[in-house]
Amino acid sequence: MRQDLVAGLAGLLFSVGLAVAGMTQPHKVIGFLDFFGNWDPSLAFVMVGAIGVNTIVYRLVLGRKEPFFGGRFQLPTRTDLDWRLIVGAVLFGVGWGIAGFCPGPAVTSLVGMGTPAVIFVAVMLAGMGIFRMVEGKLPG
């Protein structure tokens, strides 16, 4: 129960941070990706700030024997680049560039029930469902 409460509070903090940073506004994201037009560098500052905070907190947290909530740290162990990772990254990037949303900001934007966010999340969930159906048939 306590772990779920902390996860919920962390998600709420993340959502508020996304909203304050303007990440829930697709035009800000698309403006950041428009290098040769009306480029908006504000997203770069959000990214640098997030990387800075993560770098500090990551080192502090991993200095502990175990997490505050949960039995052990669950860190990724794979270091290889396979076709699934590369194709997934490309699809993510294309979707982000076309819609101006990635999953976190899109879900956060559902609070306002704007049509673009609702459509994006619906299509994202459909894509996840399709992947689950075909996952066992994919090579490697």
pLDDT in tens, the chain (140 residues): 677 888 889 888 888 888 888 888 888 888 888 888 888 898 889 889 989 999 999 888 888 888 877 778 888 898 899 888 898 899 888 888 888 888 888 888 888 777 888 998 899 899 889 888 887 777 76
Is the Cβ–Cβ distance between 103 and 124 less than 8 Å? yes
Domain with 54, as residue range(s), is 2-137
Report the pLDDT value the prediction gives residue 35, as an integer from 0 to 100: 86
Q: How far is CA 42 from CA 1, 22, 65, 117, 122, in A?
A: 38, 9, 37, 21, 28
Report the pLDDT value the prediction gives residue 1, as an integer from 0 to 100: 67
Report the pLDDT value the prediction gives residue 48, as an integer from 0 to 100: 93
| Total domains in the fold of the chain | 1
Give the separation between CA 119 and CA 140, rounded to whole angstroms: 31
Report the pLDDT value the prediction gives residue 43, as an integer from 0 to 100: 87
